[in-house]
Amino acid sequence: MKRSVPLLALGLTVAAATTLVAQDMPHVHKDSQAAPSSAAAMRDSKLTYAKDIAPLLAQNCQTCHRAGEGTPFSMDKYETVKMWSNNIKRMVSTRRMPPWYEDGTTKKFENNRTMAQADIDKVVEWVDAGAPQGDMKDMPKPREFVQGWSIPKPDAVFQLPKPFPIKAYGLMEYQYVIIPTGFKKDTWVQYIEAAPTDRRVVHHIVTYVRVPGSSYFKGVPTNMFFTAKEAEKYKPKMPYMVPDMAPDTGTDGKPTPQTATSKGGGADVPSDWLVGYAPGQTPDIYKDGEAKLIPAGSDLVIEVHYMPNGTATTDQSRIGVVLAKGKVTKRAMTLSADNDKFKIPPFHPNYKVDSSYTTPEDMILVGMHPHMHMRGKDAQYRILFPDGKRETLLNIPNYNWRWQLWYNLAEPIKMPKGTKIECTEHFDNSAANKENPDPSKTVIWGQQTTDEMMVCMFNVVFDAKFTTKQILRPAKTKTADKAPAKPKT
């Protein structure tokens, strides 16, 4: 049952895995237009929008709630904010906004979005007082956002060859495009971002680095859109997942057409995860001296999953990279501990699946990203050091598959060779799970959100002298397994 698969060797298993969010965003309730509370019932408060609330919304909400970000409303005008004020109060006081699902019992996370209780109280008090505007002279300077990018100005941008048409309704196959980087020498990238041009319809993007000599989609022309099925006419050497990684059958009894991966290691590694996009995800940003590697002559393989939203549109997503300045001593990589061998019985309310990964060399853990679909219930990452010490790193008691978030450690953790990352995820296949499309189904691994995935991604950095081969070689060390401690689950 337990398997550890470095993401590189996994290739598109995880590409497929990053099936996310947008599909059917919860209904937007405009209950703010409901009968305003009578003046008599209103609370007394000195707080005003201009002075007290606008700065809080700018800081906590505007990264997403601004024009062009695919959120239901922008928080740049008093009138709009006032109209939504009852919803804002509800979402903030129940901590459903800003989105953040780890429970605060484990580590500190540098990208933690939770609002301080005192700030939540202010918002509530202000809304209860009738959301007064105050003196607009008190307004903070508007927060500035680089249009389209949240990383510094990219040194190189790789964009889909043309605007891709997205129909108004229906399901769409994953689209792939191979874009040559044109990099003549090994290139280290420190900031990486995938940016849709129409965020309302982009369900997720995954970008891989395809090194020269890789057989991943080999023979498929570059700079054009294709689906995994269309790739077949070029007889690509490795369009699908290797059999030992794919489940035997798909949900309809037919083999599940997973996409490429390799048996792992060496030049035949088809792809290296560069960056993903999903609503709420932040770009990949590394410290000075740390970066991801794009070897000379590599291509980018971009996978985009579009989700029609009722209005036909186009999107021409792009990937931006900022080159590392100065010497890079640590290489960053995205790896994953997955388990694709589960079979969730019908109506099971709490089905447990484990996975693990043991470090083949010394590494530093910098971030974590659990991934499940509609039946995902909770997730936990633990670490087991070679000396037997075990610790919980991340605890997500109420997983929400609509929010595919990374949890980046405020203090990265040193993992000596032989350290084990253990991951446990539970699935709720009961009828009580409102998201469950069909509790009577036995659920196995698959790409669609109505299938499941058990994926525990994580970012590591390690000495740049190690080759990809060394890092992807499965660890022989069994130290961690012999350790006496038992996981507390």
Which residues of this chain interact with ligand HEC, rule CB under 6 A?
25-26, 28-29, 60-61, 63-65, 71-72, 84, 87-88, 91-92, 97-99, 113, 115, 279-280
Number of residues in the chain: 489
Residue 73 beta carbon to ligand HEC: minimum distance, rounded to whole angstroms: 7
Residues contacting residue 432 through CB under 8 Å, at least 6 positions apart: 349
Round to the nearest angstrom and report the end-to-end CA distance of the chain.
17
User: Which is closer to ligand HEC, CB of 87 or CB of 262?
Assistant: 87
DSSP state of 437: S
Residue 468 beta carbon to ligand HEC: minimum distance, rounded to whole angstroms: 32
- Letter string b/e over residues 137-171, b meaning 16 or more CB atoms within 10 A of that residue's CB: eebeeeeeeeeebebeebeeebbbeeebebeeeee
Residue 96 beta carbon to ligand HEC: minimum distance, rounded to whole angstroms: 8
User: Which is closer to ligand HEC, CB of 30 or CB of 229?
Assistant: 30
Residue 17 beta carbon to ligand HEC: minimum distance, rounded to whole angstroms: 20
Residue 308 beta carbon to ligand HEC: minimum distance, rounded to whole angstroms: 17
Sign of CA dihedral 206, 211, 215, 218: positive
The count of C-alpha atoms lying within 13 angstroms of the C-alpha of 440, restricted to the half-sphere facing its C-beta, is 0
Q: Letter for the amino acid at 133?
A: Q
The 3-state DSSP class for residue 248 equals coil
Sign of CA dihedral 22, 378, 451, 247: positive
Return left, alpha or beta for 223; rule: phi > 0 is left, psi -120 to 50 is alpha, else beta.
Answer: left
User: Which is closer to ligand HEC, CB of 31 or CB of 186?
Assistant: 31
User: Which is closer to ligand HEC, CB of 87 or CB of 317?
Assistant: 87
Residue 131 beta carbon to ligand HEC: minimum distance, rounded to whole angstroms: 12
User: Which is closer to ligand HEC, CB of 65 or CB of 292?
Assistant: 65
User: Which is closer to ligand HEC, CB of 37 or CB of 63?
Assistant: 63
Kindly state the tokens that stand for 138.
């008190």
User: Which is closer to ligand HEC, CB of 250 or CB of 279?
Assistant: 279
Contact 319, 202 (CB under 8 A): no
User: Which is closer to ligand HEC, CB of 61 or CB of 335?
Assistant: 61
Question: 117-128 and 85-93 helices cross at what angle (nearest 10)?
Answer: 150
User: Which is closer to ligand HEC, CB of 100 or CB of 164?
Assistant: 100
Residue 24 beta carbon to ligand HEC: minimum distance, rounded to whole angstroms: 10
Residue 32 beta carbon to ligand HEC: minimum distance, rounded to whole angstroms: 8
Q: Whole-angstrom Cα distance, residue 58 to residue 51?
A: 12
Q: Whole-angstrom Cα distance, residue 415 to residue 417?
A: 6
Kindly state the tokens that stand for 304.
């985009």
Residue 488 beta carbon to ligand HEC: minimum distance, rounded to whole angstroms: 31
Q: Whole-angstrom Cα distance, residue 93 to residue 304?
A: 35
Give the DSSP per-residue string, 201-216.
Answer: TEEEEEEEEE-TT--T
